[in-house]
Amino acid sequence: KAGLGLAAADSLPISTLRGQFADNREWLNDPSGPAIVVGTVDMIGSRLLFEGYGVSRKMRPFHAGFLGSDCLFVLDESHLVPPFEELLNTVLCEGKGLDADDEVAGVLPASTLLTLSATGRDEVKVMTEIEQDDLTHPVAKKRLFAKKRLTLVEPTEADDDHDLGQRLAREAWDLTDRGCLNEKVIVFCNSRKTAINAEKELAKIAKIDKKAAPPTQLFVGSRRVFERNQVAQWLTKHGFLPGEPEVTNRPRFVFATSAGEVGVDLDADHMVGDLLGGAVACSWERMIQRFGRVNRRGDGNAQVRILSDSVDKKMQASLNKEEGKRNANDLELVIQHQRYHAVKVLLSTLPKNGDQESTYDVSPESLRQLKLRSKNDPELALQIEKASTAAPLRPALTRPILDAWSMTSLE
């Protein structure tokens, strides 16, 4: 407390700015004192732009002023919100056209932006990176070099008779030695429909092998709070989340969409996924996030199986069309194919495991080294760009626009 300028009897104000939670307003009581504010992009961003959600017109400039000076912004999973990252970079960093007027610049405390991402595009200045001390730290080293062995599963002629959900379920079941191993497996799907189908197919496969139906959980978006709490309890009980897991001798399976890729501390023993599900390619940043949901703490030896699907007839037809004759749907399918091919190329450039030449190393350190190499390899950098989701277009934030928004007394 002394380091924060707080007296022994003082408490550190901690406030929450997010939907479904009322702001306790403790961070507003003493603007000169320290406080921690945990908020969402919408709640924080709207206040910075003088349009705070749920804030009265007269209080909007106060919120903007308190958040716009003398703050450390820690933006987690910044790759998910590049427009907001650029907004913070524009508002907080010098030389972006929004600097304070000369008469107050000398006394106005500066703010700082710290972005956190395993797959960032380096659009803003990197403040800190993995250093040599991290590579030798016992905990960090174990996580960075966690064993994760990737196998690209090429389609066979027999796979033409099976849908994607059935193939994903089959690979997941095989990772548990057809239900004999006490393992946690997460199956990532590009759509809710595929995830639901894969979960049903797993139950059928288990029945054919005369095994009891294993515990399974569907992890998708658009859940109510009560349902999310139920899922969290199930994940903790079966060892996918930190806590006291139930003692069991059975395999457990989670079938997840992109909802399981970020914002949750999921940790499975093995993983199954696809590169091209439903004519939608899994982008490079999403693939990296998926890898981070298996053997997170480095205690195991994870197997990762990625289905490398062949291009379907609809996508192939778009690829075969002349460039000038492609409609909007054709162009989107072409982009998805380019992304699919680029991700596949990147995976094949990763180092192979010494003990198993058929598997690739997808540990955090292996992926980090790939990104470092791209800084001096234009071809590799281009491949990463093609494999990644393009940053969305965003309007420029200029001083006249911000000055107009700041006049909150006007209708």
- pLDDT digits over 208-238, tens only? 999 988 999 999 887 787 888 899 999 999 9
In tens, the pLDDT along 147-199 reads: 999 999 988 777 665 788 999 999 999 999 999 999 999 999 988 999 999 99
pLDDT above 70 for 124: no
CA dihedral 264, 265, 266, 272 (to 10 degrees): 80
The tokens for 151 are 């196998």
Q: What is the pLDDT of residue 312?
A: 79
CA distance 126 to 10: 35
pLDDT above 60 for 5: yes
Q: Is 160 helix (H, G, I), strand (E, B) or coil?
A: helix
pLDDT above 60 for 34: yes
Q: What is the pLDDT confidence band of residue 123, given thresholds at 50, 70 and 90?
A: low
Q: What is the pLDDT confidence band of residue 20, given thresholds at 50, 70 and 90?
A: low
C-alpha atoms less than 13 angstroms from C-alpha of 63 in its C-beta half-sphere: 24
pTM greater than the 0.95 cutoff: no
H helices, E strands: number in the chain: 16, 13
Q: Which residues pair with 264 in a beta bridge?
A: none
CA distance 14 to 363: 36
C-alpha atoms less than 13 angstroms from C-alpha of 135 in its C-beta half-sphere: 8
**Contact indicator for 166, 135 with CB cutoff of 8 Å:** no
Q: What is the pLDDT of residue 353?
A: 78
Q: What is the pLDDT of residue 180?
A: 92
Q: Which residues pair with 274 in a beta bridge?
A: 307
Question: Roughly what angle, to the nearest 10 degrees, separates helices 192-208 and 164-174?
Answer: 50
108: left (phi over 0), alpha (psi -120 to 50) or beta: beta
The tokens for 197 are 């189908």
Amino acid letter, residue 220 = V
Please report, for residues 14, 80, 96, 120, 140, the alpha-carbon distance to residue 391 in angstroms, rounded to integers and kept in the order given.
Answer: 33, 9, 19, 11, 30
Q: What is the pLDDT confidence band of residue 299, given thresholds at 50, 70 and 90?
A: very high
Helices (H), 149-295: 164-174, 192-208, 225-237, 284-291
Q: What is the pLDDT of residue 166?
A: 92
Mean pLDDT of the 312-324 span: 87
How big is the CA angle at 281 (ends 275 and 286), to the nearest 5 degrees?
80
pLDDT above 70 for 122: no
For the ranges 11-15, 92-96, 163-167, 304-308, the lowest mean pLDDT is seen at: 92-96
Q: What is the pLDDT of residue 45?
A: 92
Q: What is the pLDDT of residue 382?
A: 92
For the ranges 20-34, 61-75, 107-121, 123-137, the lowest mean pLDDT is seen at: 123-137
**Best CA proximity match to 176, nearest among 255, 254, 269:** 269
Q: What is the pLDDT of residue 245?
A: 87
Other CB atoms within 10 A of residue 213 CB = 12
pLDDT above 90 for 294: yes
Burial environment of residue 139 by CB neighbours within 10 A (0 to 12, 13 to 18, 19 or more): exposed
Q: What is the pLDDT confidence band of residue 95, given thresholds at 50, 70 and 90?
A: low
The DSSP letter of residue 80 is G
Look at the block and give the residue holding tokens 């690739």: 360
Mean pLDDT of the 6-29 span: 83
pLDDT above 70 for 127: no
